[in-house]
Every structure is written in structure tokens, then in C-alpha cells.
Amino acid sequence: MKTYFGTDGIRGRANTFPMTPEVALLLGKAAGSYFRRGNHRHVVVVGKDTRLSGYMLEYSLIAGFTSAGMDVRTVGPAPTPAIGMLTRAMRADLGVMITASHNAYTDNGIKLFGPDGFKLADAVELEIEKRMENVGSILAVPPVEIGQVAVYNDARGRYVEAAKAAFPRELSLDGLKIVLDCANGAGYRVAPQALQELGAEVDAIGVSPNGQNINLNCGSTSPEAMINRVLETGAHIGIALDGDADRIIVCDERGRVIDGDQLICRIAKDHRDAGTLKGGGAVATIMSNFAMDRFFKDQGMSLARTNVGDRYVVDRMRRSGYSVGGEQSGHLVLTDYSTTGDGLIAALQILAACVRNDHPVSELCSMFEPAPQFKQNVPYTGTMPLNDVAVQAVVEGVQKRLEGKGRLVVRPSGTEPVVRVMTEGENESLIINAATEVVEALKHYAHAPEPAE
């Protein structure tokens, strides 16, 4: 069991354990010492999104890294995938992204990337935690080896060029009107720039960050602003990123939301038709609609499934040789172009399909008829309600009742204190009733106090 790291780095409420300057300093020292190997000058690339607490954590991390003898290159607000790309391109020893992704500004998090630009394996995170818990064992470097700090001003430009390279050179976005919601987050500069340079008419919203409005009534988790602007302006497509721009949700010209499942299918089919698809299919998670399995089978492609979390998707992609994968929530991973979820690069794949086929998005991205799904989040404080035997009994009973008729997924979130409930099946009333029973059981124990020591 890990103390600090969850499914996607370390995350929590800003200025509250573990998202404190003290923990960030510890992490910098521990991760810096772990990745300091050999006699060369060691480099860590540090980026962040636009939330207020980013500066607080950034400076603490810098202190930890430099005290461990690592040179720091700060890039300012930049998408998470840009940090993965830059870490590898600059041959850095480590990459760091300070972000809580789609969460409110009151939260923050820290994601780490290895020298290859990919997120760290569980074993590496556990080793870093051991050092954090015994930081006194980390030898302080002598004064001559203390790391240096510099601002890397070309980061955003390099990322824009890398993203544009994922768009076919023979195509152009001329004549395409796009509503782009950047969630007042890390993509607020680079995403509009990339689409405009490719010829699109971009109506950008969510591009005025103030430290407190990231993901606030905008972005991929609140697509209403994007939908309304598309309908008002007659745009061809709406694209919404999340706070760190590693997630994308699309709406068509009619304002209908298109989730990550449909986008995975669209991209996988296009890459298969172009002869560039690797692995013979794609990777999705257990939360993706099971109608996807039928679509991939009908198309002669395979669909592998993993636990929730883009790191697990990427791990399966790398082990099995897939080049397309993602989550229903909009984390789309295209390893031909990026090491992690990348909203802008995924958007460019969808826009390439629009240009090639000259059909409205409503036709292009309706890849399958989804099976009915019901989803609800249950917030909790204190004890994890899934640990209660009464809740476990309800979950087991519902699973047995759905056997052969549908499925139930109940899991704690790795990014916030909620339990996520999803039911799926052909009979909509059956799955709604099943989910409601589980949700009510969870709510009953959602505020149970922590057990006494």
C-alpha cells in the first residue's frame, strides 16, 4: 500500500496533507535522490497548470530537487502531455507536473514522469515513498553540487510544434469553425495557437485563468458552456479540455456530447484504415461501454480492457503493442505521438477525420449505439464506506442479481474522496434500480467516523 501516491500521482486539498509545502519539499528530495544516477548534471523539468497553489508547491519542489543536486527547468503553465514530451526530448532525468487535472482549484496534485516521458511504475513510486519516510538517510550534496534553476522559455512553442506534427501535413483546417474550451487551465495558450496555425477559425473560451477559475463551469467536466457556444455560433464542432489538457470531450454541430468511447472507436478505425494502427485494436477500461466490444469485433479489431486510470491503459498499450487507447472520460492516449493522455493531439485526430470525410461530426463520431449506463458518485468523509460489511453485502447481492443481465462497477476514486458507481445493461430500469440500491447503501455509511486508535 502506498502512503502518498494514488492512481495518478499525489493529490489532495491544497495546503492540507499531502498537498503541503512540507510534503512537496520531501518529495523533491526523495525523487531527486532516486533519479540522480551517474556523474552528469541531472535535470528535472517542472510544469504546472493555472491554479493558485501551483506556485507554493513549485517552489517547495524546486528547493527539494536542488538540495538533492538536480538542476531545475521550469516551464510555467503547460499541459501535462507537454511535460512528458519535454522530459524525453530534453533527455531530462525526471519530469514533474503540478496539477489536479479536472478538480476544482482548491485541490492540487503532483505527477511524475520518468526519463522516457512515461508516468512512473508502482515500484518506483514505492521506492520514492520509502525515501520520503526516511529522508534523513538521503545524503545532502555538497555546496558545489547544489542544483541550478532556470526558466525554459521555449517549452510551449516546442509542444505546439509536436502537436501539429500529429496532424497530416496534406490536410488543413481552413474553413472549419471550432469552439474550444480550455477550462481556464494549462492549455489556454497552446491549444488555440495550434488550431489557428493549422487554419481553423477558433472561438476560444475558458482562456482567462485567474488562479481560482480552473474547471469552474467550463472544460470537459462542465461542457454546457461549449455546447451553448456551438449552438449560438453555428460552429462545426466543440472541443473541451480539462485543467491540465490531458482530457478531451467533444460536442457535434447539434450540441450533442461525444464521449471518449466514441472517440476511441473513431480514431482506431481511421488509423486501421490508414494502415497505421498498431496492436490490431485498442485499449479501454472497465468503465467503457460494453457496446464497444461489439463494434471492435464487427470491425475485425481487438479491444483490451484495464482497470480505471490512464496509467493502466498506457501500461497495457506498451506491453501489448497497442497505439490507441483511452477512457470514457476523455483521456485518449496515442503512443505514436504522446506518452500520456493528450487532449490536443486527440482533437487533431478527430479534426483530421472531419476534413478527410467532409461529413458533419454528428455522423462521423456516432460509431456505435451505447448500451444504457447509469453512473453516480457518492462523496464520503471519514471511513471508506466500501470497507463496511453491510455495504459489501449489498454490492454482492446486486452483482448476483445482474449476473447475465448487466454489470456493476463500484470503486473508490483515486483522485477525490468519492465512490464511483456504474451499472450497465440492456434493461435500463433494472440497472437504475440496481445502482440506486448500492448508492443508498453507500450514502448510509458515507460519513461514518474514523475508527478510534
Residues annotated as catalytic are 101
Calculate the CA dihedral of residues 181, 185, 190, 193 and round it to 10 degrees: 30
Question: How many whole angstroms separate alpha carbon 241 and alpha carbon 180?
Answer: 8
With beta carbons less than 8 A apart as the criterion, state whether 18 and 30 touch.
no
Query: Between 428-444 and 389-402, two packed helices, what is the crossing angle to 10 degrees?
Result: 170
What's the distance, CA 114 to chain centroid? 17
Question: How many whole angstroms separate alpha carbon 345 and alpha carbon 363?
Answer: 21
Report how far apart, in Å, the C-alpha atoms of 303 and of each of 191, 268, 349 are: 30, 10, 19
Question: How many whole angstroms separate alpha carbon 338 and alpha carbon 85?
Answer: 7
Question: How many whole angstroms separate alpha carbon 438 and alpha carbon 398?
Answer: 8
Burial of residue 413 (number of CB atoms within 10 Å: 0-12, 13-18, 19+): middle
- Written as one letter, the residue type at 301 is M
Burial of residue 417 (number of CB atoms within 10 Å: 0-12, 13-18, 19+): middle
Extract the C-alpha cell encoding 31: 525523487
